[in-house]
Amino acid sequence: MTPSLLRPLLVRAASLLLVLVTVLVLLVVSLGATGFSERMLGAVIGEELRALRISLAETITDPDALEVALAARRAELEAAHGLDRAWYQRLPGMVLRVMTLDLGDARTMRTFDGSNRVADIVLERLPNTALLLTSALLITAAIGLSLGVWLSTRVGSTIDRVVSYAAAISYALPAWWTGIMLILLLSFQLQLLPSGGMHSSPPPEGGLARFLDLALHALLPILTLVLVSVGPYVYVVRTITLGVAQEDHVMLARAKGMPGHVVERRHVLRVAAAPILTGLILGLAGSLGGSILVETVFDWRGMGRLYYEAIVGTPDEGLIIGLTFMFTLLYVSARMILEVLYVLLDPRVRYGDAAPLRS
């Protein structure tokens, strides 16, 4: 990669890193200022002291001596965790803890093999969420691109108007409610697809059978995510492509006698690619939020469902912080991939120092 490609990428990377740090600081500041982190650490220390009391009780029989020993240990632990300092003095440590997902143990949640470390639980769920999100994103992109480009040549036609309305409805659909409707219709009424979960119980034997079973269970959640994001995306693609197709350079390419498909590909789509990609990036933010709700509805054992479980019932701060951070990290990483594509696609970003063209 040439330096000219590198520079704008570094700028974007720095900007996204700033996003990550800002979110982190926002997380820990709000935790500190509301006293949440204090309670969290207090709980960790209390847990440790309880264990210590039991083991010490075997050697120390004098109750007063036991209390003294425990109090000394408590002070030690509080100093170690920084509870003797104000919350803002603990900020750097907290940021580090969140970044490494060193958030202690979850209250009730466990991994499938029994670990109760927040990091283990969150990381175990990550692939499941990534599976849903990437499938939905790819399908949305494929439909959005083909349908949007096709529509851009038919602006003002009946089908264009129909799709405009459909896009508006698609945007107005809450993802989770759409999921519920699909369950009511396809699972309960027509009994076509499973209503939730990731596997049948018991799961079928054999790699392929297991995969197909998973795919079957993933169908409704993915369909839901696609339904709520594809409409606006088709519309964005259509409008951007239309805008480019009306530009002077396209007219000139035709005047030059370039064949229709070359004009379409090289002079319309190639130019529209970068802003169309931006539309996809913006849609990703929506899908990410949507996945929290959709996983909840479909009992899909991803980070979103975990988030829901960590909020209702007994709230679990460690998990909530870890998940919020992971969602941000996931989003920022996806953004970075798309930024690389963007820089490759649009020379204006590559050379110019001006902000990329955002539609």
- The single-letter code of the amino acid at 167 is A
Q: How many amino acids of this chain bind another protein (CB under 8 A)?
A: 84
Beta bridge partners of 117: 105
Structure tokens at 355: 């902000």
Using the rule CB under 8 A, give the single segment among 53-61, 72-80, 204-212, 263-271 that binds another protein: 263-271
Write down the H helix ranges in 198-299: 207-245, 248-255, 260-262, 270-298
Structure tokens at 328: 């941000």
Token match 């820990």: residue?
28
Tell me which residues in 269-298 interact with another protein (CB under 8 A). 270-271, 273-274, 285, 288-290, 292-293, 296-297
Structure tokens at 151: 């529509």
Q: How far is the CB of 22 from another protein (least distance, A)?
A: 5
User: Which listed residue (81, 106, 117, 176) binds another protein by CB under 8 A?
Assistant: 176
Q: Which is nearer to another protein, 115 or 171 (CB)?
A: 171
Using the rule CB under 8 A, give the single segment among 44-52, 138-146, 206-214, 326-334 that binds another protein: 326-334
Handedness of CA 181, 182, 183, 188 (dihedral sign): positive
d(CA 150, CA 228): 20
Is 312 exposed, middle or buried, given 0-12, 13-18 or 19+ CB atoms closer than 10 A?
Answer: exposed
Q: Which is nearer to another protein, 115 or 200 (CB)?
A: 200
User: Which listed residue (98, 226, 320, 343) binds another protein by CB under 8 A?
Assistant: 320
Give me the 191-220 binding string for another protein, x by CB under 8 A, dash otherwise: ----x-------------------------
Structure tokens at 83: 């509870």
d(CA 146, CA 168): 19
User: Which listed residue (224, 229, 241, 328) binds another protein by CB under 8 A?
Assistant: 328
Tell me which residues in 126-165 interact with another protein (CB under 8 A). 155-156, 161, 164-165
* Helix, strand counts (H, E) of the chain: 14, 0
Give me the 299-318 binding string for another protein, x by CB under 8 A, dash otherwise: --------xx--xx--x---
Give me the 220-239 binding string for another protein, x by CB under 8 A, dash otherwise: -------------------x
Is 139 exposed, middle or buried, given 0-12, 13-18 or 19+ CB atoms closer than 10 A?
Answer: middle
User: Which listed residue (327, 342, 343, 356) binds another protein by CB under 8 A?
Assistant: 327
94, containing H or E segment: helix 91-99
Verify binding: residue 181, another protein, rule CB under 8 A. Answer: yes
Q: How far is the CB of 3 from another protein (least distance, A)?
A: 16
